[in-house]
Amino acid sequence: MKQALEKIELAAKEQLAKVADSAELEALRVRFLGKKGELTAILKGMAGLSAEERPVIGQLANKVRADIEEAVESRAAELKDAAIRLRLKEEKLDVTLPGKAPKLGRLHPMDTVMREIEDIFIGMGFDIVSGPEVEYDYYNFEALNIPRDHPARDTQDTFYISDNILLRTQTSSVQIHVMENRKPPIRIVSPGRVYRSDAVDATHSPIFHQIEGLVVDKGITMANLVGTLDMLMKRLYGDECKIRLRPHHFPFTEPSAEVDIVCFNCGGKGCPMCKGEGYVELLGAGMVHPKVLKQCGIDPEEYSGFAFGLGLERIVMGKYGINDLRLLYENDLRFLEQF
């Protein structure tokens, strides 16, 4: 039995030296040291030994087991170290190579123009003010001199959350909040998303962006409005840009006007885009209605003001020569990368 134990130890060490991976190592460990392994099988025969032989063989068996276990652990450490060295060799990084620059995004043309417009107004002394997109009917309509039975509501049919709460159809509601909480002089612009139940086509969308402006102070006249809008358009489209005012009606301004600019497609000669008129309608404007001022606690006998509202999408389309509003919302990189 002594010779058998020594033979097992010698065989185990020889085969462990040839092991190539951890799976093979585990198989050898089980073969020699497992419950049904070769060493266990020999130890089961110790019952037939004499009382004098038993302790000697038992001591030798324990030494053989310890030697094999130590050999297994040593070989496992060697395999682990070899695997690390191989991985380091395969994954070697040449730090002298140039790095891969991340692909940077860019501003959407809508954001670019929005920031440009905000900068223009900040330069003219205006504050940029935001407000809630989910609004009370009062701020969206009634405070702007549009009672519940007013026909203007038909053209601004919107998305109602309840009888009294809706998605705003215009950022003019922000102007009401400001006039209720500030005393004149007031000079603000309020950009943001608005919602109307319009069918989607080349010039309409149920979601679009407005930039509403408001000035309230002593001695404000229509001339101040025209000068402000003329400055805005020249800064956006160049010194050759011309504006035109046409009489119109808005419930919250009196007098009111539609404001056109020379067609950016034909330069005023007449084309399908401007329907042969040479001008494109761009925004609405006028002097703030006395009822609106009074509703907000501002004395219309002492103060006057002007307001205007323009659609950001139309400004962007004019600035970049885009003929279909839907392109701005389709997230097509082939289109966006042009800007």
Which is more confidently placed, 180 or 203? 180
Task: Delimit the domains of the chain by residue range.
Answer: 2-90, 109-336
Per residue in 308-318, pLDDT (tens digit) is 999 999 889 88
Give 12's strand partners.
none
Q: What is the pTM of this model?
A: 0.67
Q: Which residues contact 140 (CB under 8 A, 6 or more apart)?
A: 158, 166, 168, 169, 170, 172, 173
**Amino acid at the residue 156:** Q
Strand pairing report for 304-311 and 279-288: antiparallel
How high is the pLDDT of residue 231? 94
> How many Å apart are CA 265 and CA 182, to the nearest integer?
41
Least confident of 109-113, 179-183, 219-223, 273-277: 273-277
User: By C-alpha distance, which of 146, 202, 200, 201 is closest to 169?
Assistant: 146
CATH topology of domain 109-336: BirA Bifunctional Protein; domain 2 (3.30.930)
